[in-house]
Structure 1
């Protein structure tokens, strides 16, 4: 029998493990670090972090064996001696001969673009855990990676990759995908949450917060809907599915009700049409817990293509909608960084990404949490000023939507009303920024491909 684990074991036996470099030793990176040394055929060659001390602390607190790392060695010496080394220079790590796969885990969209372009330059496969960068520029990054002959992949264990896997299962088995998505915790008022209110809403204990793994602005980006919008945009782009026309609805829904709720409106559901993405909430609108919720899970809703298949749904006990035509498959949990090794193995042993941007279907536009005034400086994803709203890419282009991934540090030159989507015309920006220039280049490429003209956004301002 030949599978990923046996192929990895063969690499271990041959003394030729996969050499991996990781950029970022935060929560997700630490989860991978805690597991990678347990996988045969894989060697964590280097950890790049702006704070070497943080990287060292990650090794220590995750139980990484002390004999496997040496923070005093150079990158070349570490590879030669089979040790994990620490560096603050991600560019040098990417350029190091011998490293085959780079894991981008910074969460910083501008850094993610820079690192991906360096991987393309140096012919290194990249796992883009940085969904912010993937949604900001993934459609063009993936295209450039294919041209360079490297693999640009989503991260297994993160929800977009797991959803993409379910979509692939459905299509490979011959089913049409009605809806694909994830569970989360959301109420309409959460859109306006700030780092000052996030812990009141989130539900972590004081003891959990004291561990130091919890950044309030980062976690607020999950709560205010931004992260769900980013992840569903990534899924739309990877699976050629359609975002809702007015953002995610976050309908309350338990796992047992997925096919009942997530079916087209014409059949009694909440979807505009078949072939969409959506996120379901684990809370009812009044704040009560949803029965059998899917807060940590992912799902795909499929349709029986004929009466015979519909009968099979019933015969094999699938939970369907009331008509029997729609059914769901789901995974109740995801383990994010603990599962990330699947991506490394799939890329190196099968030549396949674990999910990959294929088109530009969805975008996430910065949307005002409150009335914003001329001269204010945007504070980015999960902050006090804006949240990310999922939009169709064509609609974003029409309004010259300001992507949430770049809504940090830019100064407003117009007033913007609460709940309005921001435009490039609302902010001062410079295309001397690599991330801005690359995103603007992508917009122009797809504007031509879509045949979309710029719309009038001035009338929407104060």
Structure 2
């Protein structure tokens, strides 16, 4: 058996994890049990009973866990080798943390935790992409000034895609497009004519004749989209993740809602080609998301990530096509992809990189803004709330647009706010339209804009 070769350290890296009782938290805590050079010492979540139950389920002895009442209790628990379960931000002992993994998914709490950690000289691994879209530029700048690291966490698509992009650029390619598959595949069974999207089924027999891209790619993509029109394929989480990629890579979007083509992976190099070459793209250097179409039993793209590049020597790329690589029919484009994102299983890579200062991550800038476009006429007094697994806001659609002088309100800054003026269908929600915006996070966003795009 081959065992972990985790780096020997004089003492384990001490990790504080917010949003500990979520799915991401569980995957990270499970993986940390395999890494003797890292230790989760403070688990922060208002649901302390849920955290304790999860720890018991993971095999952590009850006498190794302490529910704390203040920061002094937390310090004592950590020093005694116990896991401190923390319900309140005021009870965190920052002097007993080396790295914060921020996974609340809430902009107010997540920003406050990250800001406090940086102020205390603690590295931050940001998993809450919602926070990143609004305050990531400012938090990163503050971390650099403080001499600590602020990094997007491996295991979620933004960091994985940025890591893939760095590899692609280091090998000498120019990037035409960066993207990922949507969270849930479209699994089509030709025997029944039913397509299944994570348990939601739709009768779509037309897909049986559309499994091959055919000679008219735009027509095929349009027909596939029509066949699955009853399924919700786009999610705010996708736009959020691609906005994070934009911050660090400089990529923009081809269309503000992204294309979401229904695609089989071996078609990606053809689909994300320029229009002049038969593809979808009117511009290049963009981010996008596709819906993966597969048959029962075929491997999933697993919410993985891809980069589209221009090829070179025709003979070279025919050799690579022969080895199974995804090359466009005309040989001008290729797709390089990683069909996975393993959530917290991968995050220890970022934790180690933060402590060892080995990450090579560009300074983020607000190249695009994740904004909110009114889906219907919204009367004054309308309140906004982030809801559901995909952290969406009723009444508005997430779109990626060019930054302005700070007048457009970022999508997640609507959380907890209300309209002071009516907003017409199709209009972007602006700061002047809102009351009750989280002031500290809004100030961080505006501060980030001043750093330029």
Question: What TM-score, normalized by structure 1, do the two folds share?
Answer: 0.79
Instruction: Give the whole-Å Cα distance in 1 for the aligned partners of 2:94 and 2:183.
Output: 42
User: Which position in structure 1 is the counterpart of 2:374?
Assistant: 368
Instruction: Give the whole-Å Cα distance in 1 for the aligned partners of 2:103 and 2:91.
Output: 16
Q: 1:383 aligns with which of 393, 400, 403?
A: 393
SS at match of 1:97: helix
Q: 2:18 aligns with which of 23, 30, 34?
A: 23
Q: 1:277 aligns with which of 284, 287, 300?
A: 287
SS at match of 1:147: helix
Instruction: Give the whole-Å Cα distance in 2 for the aligned partners of 1:150 and 1:278.
Output: 31
Within a 5 Å distance, the mapping from 1:136-285 to structure 2 comes to 136-184=134-182, 203=199, 224-282=234-292
**Residue-by-residue CA offset, 1:330-352 (whole Å, 9 max, x unaligned):** 12221112222221122223x13
**Residue-by-residue CA offset, 1:337-391 (whole Å, 9 max, x unaligned):** 2222221122223x13485652221211012233211121122341322232122
Aligned in 2, Cα 1:130/1:399: closer, same or farther, shift over 3 Å?
A: closer
**1:131 aligned onto 2:129:** yes
Q: 2:433 aligns with which of 419, 426, 434?
A: 426
Instruction: Give the whole-Å Cα distance in 1 for the aligned partners of 2:23 and 2:299.
Output: 27
Instruction: Give the whole-Å Cα distance in 1 for the aligned partners of 2:273 and 2:121.
Output: 43
SS at match of 2:66: coil
**1:82 aligned onto 2:81:** yes
Q: 2:303 aligns with which of 296, 300, 308?
A: 296
Conserved 8 A contact 2:157-2:180: yes
Whichever structure has more strand as a proportion of its residues is: 2
SS at match of 1:32: helix
Conserved 8 A contact 2:155-2:345: yes
| 1:307 Cα deviation after fit | 4.9
SS at match of 1:150: coil
| 1:238 Cα deviation after fit | 1.4
User: Which position in structure 2 is the counterpart of 1:358?
Assistant: 364
| 1:185 Cα deviation after fit | 5.5
Instruction: Give the whole-Å Cα distance in 2 for the aligned partners of 1:45 and 1:185.
Output: 31
SS at match of 1:234: helix
User: Which position in structure 2 is the counterpart of 1:6?
Assistant: 5
| 1:305 Cα deviation after fit | 4.2
User: Which position in structure 2 is the counterpart of 1:194?
Assistant: none
Instruction: Give the whole-Å Cα distance in 1 for the aligned partners of 2:370 and 2:16.
Output: 29
Instruction: Give the whole-Å Cα distance in 1 for the aligned partners of 2:197 and 2:327.
Output: 33
Instruction: Give the whole-Å Cα distance in 1 for the aligned partners of 2:398 and 2:168.
Output: 29
**Residue-by-residue CA offset, 1:93-137 (whole Å, 9 max, x unaligned):** 2x5323100010100012222122112211100011010000111
**1:407 aligned onto 2:414:** yes
Moved more, 310-319 or 103-112: 310-319
Question: What TM-score, normalized by structure 2, do the two folds share?
Answer: 0.81
**Residue-by-residue CA offset, 1:24-45 (whole Å, 9 max, x unaligned):** 1222112212221221211111
User: Which position in structure 2 is the counterpart of 1:53?
Assistant: 49
Conserved 8 A contact 1:24-1:106: yes
Instruction: Give the whole-Å Cα distance in 1 for the aligned partners of 2:149 and 2:4.
Output: 20
| 1:416 Cα deviation after fit | 2.2
Q: 1:32 aligns with which of 28, 33, 52?
A: 28
Q: CA RMSD in A?
A: 3.0
Conserved 8 A contact 1:37-1:44: no
Within a 5 Å distance, the mapping from 1:99-118 to structure 2 comes to 99-118=97-116
SS at match of 2:252: coil
**For structure 2, which runs of at least 5 residues remain unmatched after alignment?**
186-195, 202-231
Counting matched residue pairs gives: 403
Q: 2:344 aligns with which of 337, 342, 345?
A: 337
Whichever structure has more helix as a proportion of its residues is: 1
Aligned in 2, Cα 1:131/1:268: closer, same or farther, shift over 3 Å?
A: same
Instruction: Give the whole-Å Cα distance in 2 for the aligned partners of 1:402 and 1:165.
Output: 29
Instruction: Give the whole-Å Cα distance in 1 for the aligned partners of 2:167 and 2:63.
Output: 41
Instruction: Give the whole-Å Cα distance in 1 for the aligned partners of 2:348 and 2:184.
Output: 30
SS at match of 2:263: coil
Conserved 8 A contact 2:126-2:151: yes
**Residue-by-residue CA offset, 1:172-202 (whole Å, 9 max, x unaligned):** 1111111111101589xxxxxxxxxxxx975
Aligned in 2, Cα 1:228/1:412: closer, same or farther, shift over 3 Å?
A: same
SS at match of 2:242: helix
User: Which position in structure 2 is the counterpart of 1:323?
Assistant: 330
SS at match of 1:263: coil
Conserved 8 A contact 1:254-1:292: no
Conserved 8 A contact 1:253-1:293: no
Conserved 8 A contact 1:152-1:356: no
| 1:149 Cα deviation after fit | 1.0
**1:121 aligned onto 2:119:** yes
